[in-house]
Structure 1
Amino acid sequence: MSGDRFYAGLIGLSGWRLWAVAGLLGAIGSLAFAPTHMVPVLVPALTGLLLFCTSAASLRAAFIIGWWFGFGHFVTGFYWVGNSFVVADVGIFAGFFAVAALAATAALSIALVGAVCNVARLSGVSQVVLFASLWTFVEWGRSFFILGGFPWNLIGYVWGFSDNMIQLAAVTGVFGLSAVTVFCAASPVTLVMSEQTIAWRRWAWIGAAAVGLSAIWAGGALRLSNASLDVVEDVRLRIVQANISQHHKWLPDLRKTHFAEHLALTQVPAKRQITHVIWPETATPYALEWNPPIREIIGSATPPKGLLITGAIGMSDKGEEPLRIWNSLHAISFAGDIVGSYNKMRLVPFGEFVPLRDWLPFAKLAHGSRDYSRGTGQRTLDLPGLPSVGPLICFEAIFPGDVVDKSRRPEWLLNLTNDAWYGNSAGPYQHLVQTKFRSVEEGLPL
């Protein structure tokens, strides 16, 4: 079958067959993200989406096509969210519903892209530029407005496997890399939907896309070749991960055991003197503000003249009504004192709080029945023996351009997280990629 006949056959699809193919293309496109990083699949996925939407008979038809593409794309990209419902013993069906609802909402952004491209009726490279611009715009909107913001799996993140490629984010942020990637992946549209009659000129923009990606890679390689690997003298970190199953994490009869495991790992002999120790998010199963004896135990495992930084549940002062709790970070000294704290600002909907609690009869997924309170915002902490640090907890690290105190920038970033909720799924791998991007964007070690 020739290319023209194949194209005509695809465009001739209608009804559920067309929607199914659109959804399949969206699902295939999600394979470009971690951990598989099959970036070339974006070419048929995004080229197909643009062809379908611009060839649709009406704005409504293009909107539906875009929605089905988005639904397939986000269901397969967000599937790992369902694991947390299973871990929290809410049930697998609740997990299915949550993933479907999240994907259906996020898919509206792709539906909007398809509808506008259909109305614009552009051709050639102008059509591809519009498509890439709209895609990037709705990614930005999804990042900060839909459901309070969920910037997961922005297209730029497909390059997370290549340190060279992601250096562009230092200049344009992840959104700039998204725009370039969408343009390059959709550039084959110029072969079949262009007013240009000279064959080689139809291929020109595909060649330009290939040259552009090569230039980005080369620029990143040059930037990294000139990077310095500075080390802070007299600071040696120990990162502790006790590998505790989320199913067991909050069981009352295992709380002391888990605490002891972290203490034991902290005190394993090292060839060189450790100065500072880092525990994960909510690694300490006690409210440290209310438990001086627990702080003393932690202090006894803390290096002399150093600190132990741990995630813990923060609580308001005794007697304060209503009682408030936070997902917190505390720095504990050798004497058992809290010398620095940070309360998480961006909370996970349904994980750490229930939106519209007065109307929705759901419990949050995290331990306890009480919703977490929000922190006051980004902070730069000055901790003894360390350069000034910008603390982040869990998915706070996924928000582009919104991870540091801009009035007083830190010298490094620290992200405490517990991704055990998501098991052996794509979620933790994708979280790591997004965290790497924040380091590049901000020009700070993390």
Structure 2
Amino acid sequence: MNASGAVLPWRGWRLALTLLLAGAVSAAGFPPVFALPLLSLGLLFLYRCAEDAATWRYAALYGFLFGLGFNTAGLYWLTDAILTRVHDFWWAIPIAAPGCALILAPFVALPAAACRLAPAGWRRVLLFAGLWTLADMGRVFLFTGFPWNPPGSVLEWPGRIGDWLIQPAAWIGVDGLTLAIMLACLLVWQGRRWALAVCLCAGLWLGLGAWRHASVRPLPVRNPVVALTQGNVSEGDILTQADAVSAFRRYLRLTATGVAQARALPDAAGRSVVYVWPESGFPGFLNADELARRMIARAGDGAVGVVGSDRDDGQGHYFNSAFALSPDGTILDAYDKSTLVPFGEYAPRFVPVKLVPGVLTPGPGLKTWNFPGFEGLGPMVCYEVIFSGHVVGQTRPNWLLNITNDAWFGDSAGPRQHLATARMRAVEEGLPVVQDANTGITAIYDATGMLTARLPWGREGVLTAVVPSPLPPTFFSRHGRATPFLLGLFCIVLAWPSLIRRRL
């Protein structure tokens, strides 16, 4: 029996299918759909199923099935990556997204099974939400980590309302937003008083976000002007090196155009200009090609640059890197991607196949470039921007740059979800975030997460703009994920007096 005394009308395979479907529909809450009511209804269905389960094992199974549907739908775009090499990996098309979901589903099974330790009502909701949050945070320990699509990202609505909704991340991070979403989505169904309380808290949350967004003042830092190049080179051409010369010339042309446009901006006076090529922008090993570096420098016309390219250290190690180039094309430094994509850039030892060519080596870690012209830049490559609390090195930068190649995922939810993580990092760290993507979406967010410039997906072009100034360090930037962890633990402790009297 569930809390309302009603028995669920489904059993057996019908219930299993309904749970899978409910999980899949709930994923519509993620960017770019933002269907928060569907997420709330889906979570309610899982919660009622867990309450109605005959044993904790059945409750865990229900959570697993819901998580399987939830993550398969949320990661459906992984199939697009397989299609780029369909002749080699056609067999993986039906299992790419479900395979990842199969690994992630146990993180949903845990709160579904263990919430039954608390009595029905608000204590059980607290336990469910706290356990879900801690389990979700634990995904960073899975292989190299896979914290994609935290439920807190459902608040990243486009426009000003979304800007206000995500401001509390400056204190509690996206994991704290996940806890708030879990509580709100379930407490709203606990009766009229709780529904009214949720509505009042939502209003206060929005007001707090609006107040912070309007009241914060940037530091007196003059960040550079950027010329972000978006070549829109297909992933097939990148993988096969087909027409590499044409792609290289395209980026040279975009660089020359972008630098000229950047210098002509009204606010460019007295600021340095930084041109940027995305991940895989250079079709080769830039550190081994002096002629190419001179050609890039000539196109940059005295500006400094960041160029995405593979790097060969000459000792059999290959890196996915971002190169800092001086005005004459000299390599000032190379940042090697330190967090690699599981099943993509490396395969765990127990997996016999790899879905991309080559073997990549992780770099030593995050860093900050303080070379003349870069004005304290924190470089990242693609996947690394999804890690809350782990995007800043030992020295706090003035701005963050993420270069990426989302051509793998086509015109799907993947690039939109990836961009949403960059927006959230801006709020958490109080730093402007610039994302340069080969096929898009290329964008600039200020230190409150407000969009200031954007180049749509699938378009060749250049985005030029002044990088906004940073804010003072946020509470989250100083304390990191310890805050949402303690909040989730606090919810569990509030339910604790009942736990010692309960049995599964």
Q: Identify unmatched segments of 5+ residues in structure 2.
A: 434-504
Name the CA shift for 1:423/1:23 in 2 (closer, same or farther; >3 Å).
same
Q: Deviation of residue 148 (structure 1)?
A: 2.6
**Which position in structure 2 is the counterpart of 1:194?**
none
Q: Structure 2 CA distance, aligned partners of 1:147 and 1:259?
A: 34
1:282 is matched with which residue? Answer: 280
Q: Is the 8 Å Cα contact of residues 89 and 355 (structure 2) preserved in structure 1?
A: no
User: Whole-Å Cα distance in 1 between the matches of residues 352 and 291 of structure 2?
Assistant: 38
The structure with higher relative contact order (CA 8 Å, sep 6+) is 2
Structure 1 residue 169: Cα displacement: 0.5
Instruction: Say if 1:56 and 1:259 are closer, same or farther in 2 by CA, change over 3 A.
Output: same
Map 1:190-229 to 2 at 5 A.
190-191=190-191, 203-228=192-217
Aligned to 1:21: 18
CA–CA distance in 2 between the matches of 1:354 and 1:288? 25
Query: Does the 8 Å contact 1:50/1:189 carry over to 2?
Result: no
Specify which of 369, 382, 390 is matched with residue 381 of structure 1.
Answer: 369
Match for residue 426 of structure 1?
Answer: 413
Aligned partners of 1:234 and 1:412: how far apart in 2? 8
Of 252, 274, 277 in structure 2, the residue corresponding to residue 263 of structure 1 is 252
Query: Deviation string for 1:294-327 (max 9, x for gaps)?
Result: 11111111231x211110001103xx3xx10100
Q: 1:378 to 1:112 in 2, by over 3 A?
A: same
Give 2:109's aligned amino acid. Answer: A
What is the aligned residue count?
A: 419
Matched, 1:396 2:384: yes
Unaligned runs of 5+ residues in structure 1 are 192-202
Aligned residues of 2:144 and 2:341 also touching (Cα < 8 A): no
1:165: Cα distance to partner?
0.6
Pair 1:152-2:148 in alignment: yes
- Alignment partner of 1:164: what SS? helix
What's the secondary structure of 1:277's corresponding residue? strand
Partners in 2 of 1:14 and 1:232 — Cα distance?
Answer: 62
- Partner amino acid, structure 2, of 1:243: N
Please give the per-residue CA displacement for 1:147-193, whole angstroms capped at 9, x wherever unaligned: 331111111000111110111110001111111111110114423xx
* CA distance in structure 2 between the partners assigned to 1:264 and 1:65 by the alignment: 55
Q: TM-score, normalised by structure 2?
A: 0.79
1:45-84 Cα deviation digits (max 9, x unpaired): 1111111101211111111111111111011001111110
User: Who is 1:363 aligned against?
Assistant: 354
Partner secondary structure for residue 113 of structure 2:
helix
Q: State the distance in 1 between where 2:124 and 2:60 align.
A: 17
1:253, distance to aligned residue in structure 2 (A): 4.2
Percent of pairs with identical residues: 33
Q: Which residue of 1 aligns with 2:115?
A: 117
1:211 is displaced (CA, Å) by 1.2
Secondary structure of the corresponding residue to residue 419 of structure 2: helix
Which position in structure 1 is the counterpart of 2:317? Answer: 324
Range that drifts further, 414-423 or 347-356: 347-356
Q: How far 1:25 moved relative to its partner?
A: 1.3
Alignment equivalent of 1:80, drawn from 40, 53, 77: 77
Name the aligned partner's letter for residue 171 of structure 1: W
RMSD: 2.1
The alpha-carbon deviation at position 409 of structure 1 amounts to 1.3
Asked if residue 315 in structure 1 is aligned to residue 312 in structure 2, the reply is yes
What amino acid is the match of 2:145? G
Q: How far apart in 2 are the matches of 1:433 and 1:31?
A: 15
Q: Deviations over 1:266-294 (max 9, x none)?
A: 11242347721011011011212211111
Contact 1:54 1:121 in 2 (8 A): no
Which position in structure 2 is the counterpart of 1:443? 430
TM-score for the superposition, normalised by structure 1: 0.89
In structure 2, the CA distance between the partners of 1:382 and 1:64, relative to structure 1 (3 Å rule), is: same
Match of 1:200 in 2: none
